[in-house]
A and B are shown apart, each in its own frame.
Chain A
């Protein structure tokens, strides 16, 4: 019935494909993180056109499916005369998309810093970017950290859609192995375990950071024993 059984070779194939998942996630994390800082700054900048531009950017990337964004990058490249390359399209899309989400995460943390800090900086003669860099962001870091770590897990999971434009990462490797072995429970079970092993530590760490933060910043009443 099937061409092959799910064995050590197939497991190895999946594990090797995992590095491309990790690679894409890292690119998205670094590129998206850098972009997110710019977006967050633009979102609260004194210049109104800049704020609108950033808002439009975020609305587009959060209001449409990442798969469509991926297809647009993949086929838009050919419109500009490129030969479409899945890696180029995927890296570009995931950076731009993560940039929007990071932008919102960072903005949330930045706006949580009391207004007095801005006013004090203005008194010292600091302009917008200088205040942001030297006064606001260092304080906002602690608030940014938990959702940032949590979003890393989100990125790892989302990279799976890159398989749909032909990038051979973990999800696509899984469909390939499934086609030759026809053991979907085994194949997708194994792949789920791999994704879980990548994401769960991040989720746990994010939850722990959040708990620590909640204990310090916002004093929440102790939860009733349920």
Chain B
């Protein structure tokens, strides 16, 4: 029976915590990067692609957004080896998280694209801009600006979402925490500490995103 909180035994394993933190960070950054790329491609395909492609992207968005991340993770981790794709839990986690964020990013960016008035595109055409430059400068740039808050909120959810990949034995922060619990038997203290670390990560990410917004859009952080 534990009666007092003791953090000493946990902090003795500080190196393990740092390892978990580094892995969580890597997972978040890579999946946000890949997820955003999927989102940009998906949103453009959904908005301007031929109907079957647009429909397909729509199905992807709806399926991913209406099923749990944990099940998507299991699906990738357990199914892909059957098709000859041997994935480490690390790779499976990145694949599943990227596909997950990709769907949300697609929907968010699609909404941004929908807010661009048709006249802007016609004006760009009249100026003789090619489709690539129209999409890049006339559509995507203002669309990203319009949905930036929603997009970064989703990035933060993604950061928190990485916590469940311990379920397929990927060694991120939460999995490290569970290991520490087994070593030190100070379960409550470990989870308090891990919560503090995640909280700090989230605050840091919010600051970084606000800073990026200020640089890119000359926004005042709210």
Contacts and interface: CB of A to CB of B under 8 A. Distances in A.
A203 interface: yes
B71 A188 contact: yes
Interface stretch (B13-21, B60-68, B125-133): B60-68
B202 interface: yes
B80 to A, nearest CB: 9
B216 interface: no
How big is the A interface, by class? 35 or more
Contacts, number: 124
B44 to A, nearest CB: 11
Given A185-B82, A195-B66, A203-B66, A68 B75 contact: no
Contacts of A79: 2, 188
B222 interface: no
B75 A178 contact: no
B138 interface: no
Nearest to A182: B78
A163 to B, nearest CB: 7
B215 interface: no
A184 B78 CA distance: 6
A72 B82 contact: no
Which of B113, B160, B161 gathers most chain A CB within 10 Å?
B160
Interface string A41-80: 0000000000000000001100111111101100110110
A160 B73 CA distance: 12
A161 B78 contact: no
Contacts of A225: 118
Interface of B: 1-2, 47-48, 62-63, 65-72, 74-75, 78-79, 82, 113-114, 116-119, 160-161, 163-164, 166-167, 174, 177-178, 181, 187-188, 191-192, 194-195, 198-199, 202-203
The 3 closest A-B pairs by CB, nearest first: A224-B118, A184-B78, A65-B163
